[in-house]
Amino acid sequence: VVDIGFGSIQVSIYSNNKLELSQNVRPGSLRVREMLSTLERRTLNFPKVLEEYIASNIDNVKLFQSQEVFRNIVVLGSEIETISKLCSRGDGIKQRSYILKDNFETIYKELLYKAPQIMRRELDVPQESTDILLPSMMILKKFLDITTADKIYTPMVNLTDGVMLDICEKRLNPDERDEFENDILSSVRFIAQKYRYHAAHAQDVEKKSLIFFDELRKLHGLGKRERFLLQLAAILHDTGKFINLNEHYIHSYNMIMASDILGISKKELEIVANISRYHSKIVPSNSHANFICLDDASRVIVAKLVAIIRIADALDRSHMQKIKDIKVALDNNQMIVRLDTVEDILLEEWTFGTKAEFFQEVFGVAPIIKIKRGIQHV
């Protein structure tokens, strides 16, 4: 799915109904035209300059380096309606939900060296579209060329349609939010896979983090969205090991901050990155630029979620998922964590003890482990 905006391009890849990747690319059609306008008077082959500039920016998009086969392309943007009308000239069809690739390429070649005033006069192109029509088509062609598609799907929706749909669905279909969050989770798992994360460990930390979060609601007072941010951090917390095992948590922070995660605001991304930054040894400190730049509310959220993920991570310190079942209960000033295992978890016990201090500092509750040891069958 390619959304060609005036200032940027949003690219999303879906496979088997799951969002794999979303990336924002600058500049968009109008920005390209504005940036290169001074060059137009200095060359007789301005379209070639436009093509080269657009290619130099778009070739860095991750999907251009992918080995996947893209079978379909869906395009959104302010100029798509104009492009669709031009491509369906002579068909006797005023508007349809797709543009044939052959028709698009024919119109593209026709427009390549037409001046804006000629577009208006000969093709009835709206005046406001003449300057950005060609950059939009160049961007579209670049993406179309890496697919095997014989047509471009054009649903003719815009930002206003999306905002109105979101408002209606929040009121009439609250489950829709869950579907969107599943898309975000899917894309985050693909990011983690790209950085060759330890999937079994990440899933174990994710599962245990959510158990602690759910059982301690009265203690932390956080909501569903914070739970979701904790889940994202649990998936991504060790991705920094792709760069270096030493101080991997710092690399995790930087990699998350550099990621495009559709549906996550910059503020939320900073929270997720900071949770990952502090899941290991170092605890949040006002001497750290990445922590102090957060607002007061976000710092509180980060501290609470860091306290939780550190405990969850400690219970799989060996990365061997030795603890299959945990139960959590509050008892006066203690958090009792009952573990069911048949294996030696001395490493987990020791790590839990080292990370319990920060949990107690944040919540004023001392984490205590109680182990039920089963019999290991040989």
| Candidate from 91-100, 122-131, 301-310 with smallest mean pLDDT | 91-100
Residue 216: closest CA among 302, 327, 299, 350: 327
What is the residue-wise DSSP string for 89-158? TTTT-S--SEEEHHHHHHHHHHHTT--HHHHHHHH---HHHHHHHHHHHHHHHHHHTTB--SEEE-----
Pairing of strands 18-25, 151-153: unpaired
Virtual torsion, Cα 57, 59, 62, 64, nearest 10 deg? 150
Q: Is the confidence at residue 370, as pLDDT, over 90?
A: yes
What is the largest distance, in Å, between two alpha-carbon atoms of the chain?
A: 85
Q: How far apart are CA 141 and CA 199, in angstroms?
A: 37
- Picking from 261, 243, 259, the residue whose alpha carbon sits closest to that of residue 251 is 243
- Look at residue 195 and tell me whether its pLDDT is greater than 60: yes
Between 262 and 294, the more confident residue is 294
Q: What is the pTM of this model?
A: 0.81
372 with 338: CB under 8 angstroms? yes
CB 112 within 8 A of CB 134: yes
Tell me whether strands 2-4 and 75-77 are parallel, antiparallel or unpaired.
Answer: parallel
373: pLDDT strictly greater than 60 = yes
**For 298-314, what is each residue's pLDDT tens digit?**
999 999 999 999 999 99
First-to-last alpha carbon distance for the chain, in angstroms, is 52
Instruction: Look at residue 376 in the predicted model and tell me its pLDDT.
Output: 57
Check residue 164 and report its DSSP letter: H
Give the model's confidence band at 169: pLDDT under 50 very low, under 70 low, under 90 confident, else very high.
Answer: confident
| Token pair in block for residue 59 | 């070739």
Distance of alpha carbon 302 from alpha carbon 283, whole angstroms: 10
Q: What's the rounded Cα separation, in Å, for the pair 78 and 135?
A: 12
Which pLDDT value is given to residue 327? 95
Q: Which of 4-18, 88-102, 179-193, 294-308 has the lowest mean pLDDT?
A: 88-102
Peptide bond before residue 126 is cis, with ω within 30 degrees of 0: no
Calpha distance 323→371 (Å, rounded): 10
* Torsion sign (Cα): 208, 209, 213, 214: negative
Give me the residues paired with residue 91 across strands. none
In the predicted model, what is the mean pLDDT of residues 234-258? 96
Q: Where are the alpha helices (DSSP H) in the chain?
A: 29-40, 46-58, 80-87, 101-111, 116-123, 127-144, 159-172, 175-194, 199-215, 217-220, 224-236, 248-257, 266-277, 289-292, 296-314, 346-363
